[in-house]
Amino acid sequence: MGNENIMLFYTHNPSKFAFSRDKSDFENYLSNLDIDYSNSENKENQRPFGLIGVPFDGTTTYRPGARFGPSAVREASYNFENYNLSFNESLDAIFFDLGDLEVIHGNAKKTCEKLQETVLELYGAGIIPIIIGGEHSISWGVISALKEHHGLEDITVVHFDAHMDIINEYLGEKLSHATVMRRVFDLEPKKIIQIGLRSASLEEKNFVDENSQKIDYYTSYDVKNDEKLIESIMNRIEGPIYISIDIDVLDPSQAPSVGNPTPCGLSSFQIEKFIKILAQKDVIGLDLVEVASKEIGDITSVNGAKIIHDFLCLQ
């Protein structure tokens, strides 16, 4: 037949997130970079998103496996329909899955430097990064790229997590899943808002209390006791937002396959509600970290994929 454009109908590619555009769309986008996507009313002309996996778990200390997060989340994304009944929206955002970063196992700093360069390339092409970890240290690579590209003076970092991750040094490491928010704090964003917390050292608690102009935090008990308050806080955020989601913010009954499972967490209903509010604001980057699923259909990866799917459906 000699048809070079042959494609196989009724097949899908679980190594790419469901409903992501194909390579030719990406090449087409890159060759039309002069189109101004900002403030466009036309949905088809919205700024595109680029997904990159970072299969790194070099600083994990308790339950390993976050290096499997990117492939587990992608595979789990096929569990969802294109249409999202909760929001009455379809996933039709311009959205490319650009594969995985080549990580350097055992070296968080070098991995983050590579990630920073890659994310800078995305920003340079007008693409908003969606990063799938990997453990939490990688967020520093993404946010430092955002600092270089845009500056952080007007950025609110919304951080969902069971843990503060704001200790200055952990087991002698300055850059680790347990210190990542301290390194982000050092980059001087306008504000860090931490949600869903239920674990910290006293040193961390004292640090956030001493820096209350720059850091707001809400425990999982705050969320449980007054969900409307958290919703109104999110509604009031002004300016661009970076979202970092450690999947362990969910209760271990809904996300057991994580680096540090911590009881008394949030529900997927609550996360869905918060993502709905934030997704309609000026989100300039997002990471989803700490999915350490090791088998197909694992509920942690399904919940991780749902967060990204929900976010994209609302674009």
Q: Which residues of this protein are in contact with Mn ion, per CB under 5 A?
A: 161-163, 246, 248
Kindly tell me which of 292 and 313 has the beta carbon lying closer to Mn ion: 292
Contacts of 77 (CB under 8 A, 6+ apart): 17, 18, 19, 305, 308, 309
Kindly tell me which of 167 and 314 has the beta carbon lying closer to Mn ion: 167
Kindly tell me which of 246 and 287 has the beta carbon lying closer to Mn ion: 246
CB of 92 to Mn ion, least distance (A): 32
Kindly tell me which of 130 and 292 has the beta carbon lying closer to Mn ion: 292
CA atoms within a 13 Å half-sphere pointing along the CA-CB vector of 131: 38
CB of 178 to Mn ion, least distance (A): 8
CB of 299 to Mn ion, least distance (A): 17
CB of 259 to Mn ion, least distance (A): 7
Provide the token pair at 23.
């390579």
CB of 260 to Mn ion, least distance (A): 6
Kindly tell me which of 54 and 122 has the beta carbon lying closer to Mn ion: 54
- Beta strands at 89-90 and 83-84: parallel, antiparallel or unpaired: antiparallel
Residues facing residue 163 across a β-bridge: 199
Kindly tell me which of 97 and 248 has the beta carbon lying closer to Mn ion: 248
C-alpha torsion sign, points 253, 259, 261, 267: negative
CB of 219 to Mn ion, least distance (A): 13
Cβ atoms of 152 and 143 within 8 Å: the answer is yes
Kindly tell me which of 75 and 135 has the beta carbon lying closer to Mn ion: 135
Angle at 97 between CA 47 and CA 59, to 5 degrees: 110
CB of 131 to Mn ion, least distance (A): 16
CB of 183 to Mn ion, least distance (A): 15
Kindly tell me which of 97 and 161 has the beta carbon lying closer to Mn ion: 161
